[in-house]
């Protein structure tokens, strides 16, 4: 028997409701949400907020029966009740991984140069799968080093730690080693019914241009390229620099995710 979170995600898929970056089982379990039934609705809850838009359990052509409590990350394809006001939460970037196969032309000029700089300085690098029994400790070391220099940007360390230390059947991770066999970066991703969610791209300090190279490894990974899904690369977390960087990667779509607050 499915628990309520699995039921919620299954209903999204069955009804082809557009997911956002947060509608993955791996992320939601790491966030320790709880899903409750309320007046025929399934509500994904944390800290007295609906994390996502509540959905009706029985209705096939969904028209939500709204309850007046805040919704943190509203699902983009559902209309909203007039007694709510929308508030900007973040952007959400969608990419086609296959567009990273051909980097010819002026628009890719800077990116094309930058992805070559780190591997040129670090010969004999390796990009390998992560498993709990082999190199997970090295991944966690990267996470700790990354969070130590990103304290102001890290919004929920407990969720990040939970994500990397549990639920291995719900996500994929790959780790980057430099030529000396030192672990320097990690990519982690999971899925919704429609997208691959590029959840984390982390690296240790003092590695110029490693972010560009790590991201390129992810986007050109055969596993990603043959998935048949677009990539949801999440938002920018109030970082103008990250927004500028993602804009230059030529997204298929840059859309806004709203919170909904009762009027």
pLDDT average, residue stretch 120-147: 94
Phi and psi torsions of 257, nearest 5°: -105, 130
Q: Please tell me the predicted confidence (pLDDT) of residue 126.
A: 97
pLDDT average, residue stretch 187-214: 97
Confidence at 60, pLDDT banded by 50, 70, 90 = low
Q: Tell me the residue length of the chain.
A: 263
Phi and psi torsions of 32, nearest 5°: 60, 45
Is residue 25 pLDDT above 90, yes or no? yes
The C-alpha atoms of residue 239 and residue 244 are separated, in whole angstroms, by 9
Q: Please tell me the predicted confidence (pLDDT) of residue 156.
A: 84
Is residue 176 pLDDT above 90, yes or no? yes
Q: What is the pLDDT of residues 74-122, one digit of tens each?
A: 998 876 667 788 999 999 999 999 999 999 999 999 999 999 999 999 9
Confidence at 232, pLDDT banded by 50, 70, 90 = very high
Is residue 234 pLDDT above 80, yes or no? yes
Q: Please tell me the predicted confidence (pLDDT) of residue 64.
A: 52
Q: What is the fold of 92-256?
A: Aminopeptidase (3.40.630)
Is residue 133 pLDDT above 70, yes or no? yes
Is residue 38 pLDDT above 70, yes or no? yes
Is residue 63 pLDDT above 60, yes or no? no
Is residue 178 pLDDT above 80, yes or no? yes
Calculate the alpha carbon distances from 259 to 75, 76, 90 in Å: 9, 10, 9
Q: Please, which residues have CB within 8 angstroms of residue 196's CB and are 6 or more apart in sequence?
A: 189, 190, 224, 227, 229, 230, 231, 232
Q: Please tell me the predicted confidence (pLDDT) of residue 191.
A: 98
**Helical pair 210-219 and 109-121, crossing angle rounded to 10 deg:** 100
Is residue 219 pLDDT above 90, yes or no? yes
Calculate the alpha carbon distances from 84 to 43, 68, 89, 260 in Å: 17, 8, 15, 6
Is residue 67 pLDDT above 70, yes or no? no
Token output for 90: 């973040």
Please state, rounded to an integer, the average pLDDT across all residues of the chain: 92
Residues of the chain above pLDDT 70, percent: 94
Residue 57: name the closest of 15, 29, 18 by CA: 15
Domain-wise residue ranges, the chain:
4-90, 92-256
pTM score of the predicted model: 0.93
């Amino acid at each position: 028997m499915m628990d309520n979170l699995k039921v919620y995600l299954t209903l999204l898929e069955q009804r082809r409701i557009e997911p956002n970056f947060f509608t993955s089982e791996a992320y939601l379990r790491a966030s320790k949400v709880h899903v409750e039934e309320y007046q025929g609705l399934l509500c994904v809850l944390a800290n007295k907020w609906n994390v996502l838009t509540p959905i009706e359990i029985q209705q096939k052509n969904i028209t939500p029966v709204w309850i007046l409590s805040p919704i943190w990350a509203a699902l983009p394809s559902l209309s909203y009740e007039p007694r709510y006001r929308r508030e900007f939460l973040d952007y959400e970037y969608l990419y086609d991984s296959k567009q990273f196969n051909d980097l010819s032309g002026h628009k890719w000029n800077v990116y094309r140069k930058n992805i070559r700089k780190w591997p040129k300085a670090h010969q004999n690098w390796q990009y390998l799968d992560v498993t709990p029994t082999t190199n997970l400790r090295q991944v966690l070391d990267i996470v700790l080093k990354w969070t130590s220099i990103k304290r102001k940007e890290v919004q929920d360390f407990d969720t990040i730690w939970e994500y990397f230390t549990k639920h291995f059947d719900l996500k994929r991770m790959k780790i980057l080693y430099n030529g000396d066999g030192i672990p320097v970066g990690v990519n982690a991703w999971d899925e919704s019914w429609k997208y691959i969610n590029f959840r984390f791209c982390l690296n240790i300090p003092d590695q110029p241009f490693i972010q560009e190279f790590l991201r390129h490894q992810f986007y050109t990974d055969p596993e990603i390229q043959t998935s048949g899904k677009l990539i949801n690369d999440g938002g920018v977390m109030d970082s103008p620099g990250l927004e500028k960087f993602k804009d230059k990667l030529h997204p298929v779509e840059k859309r806004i995710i709203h919170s909904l607050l009762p009027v």
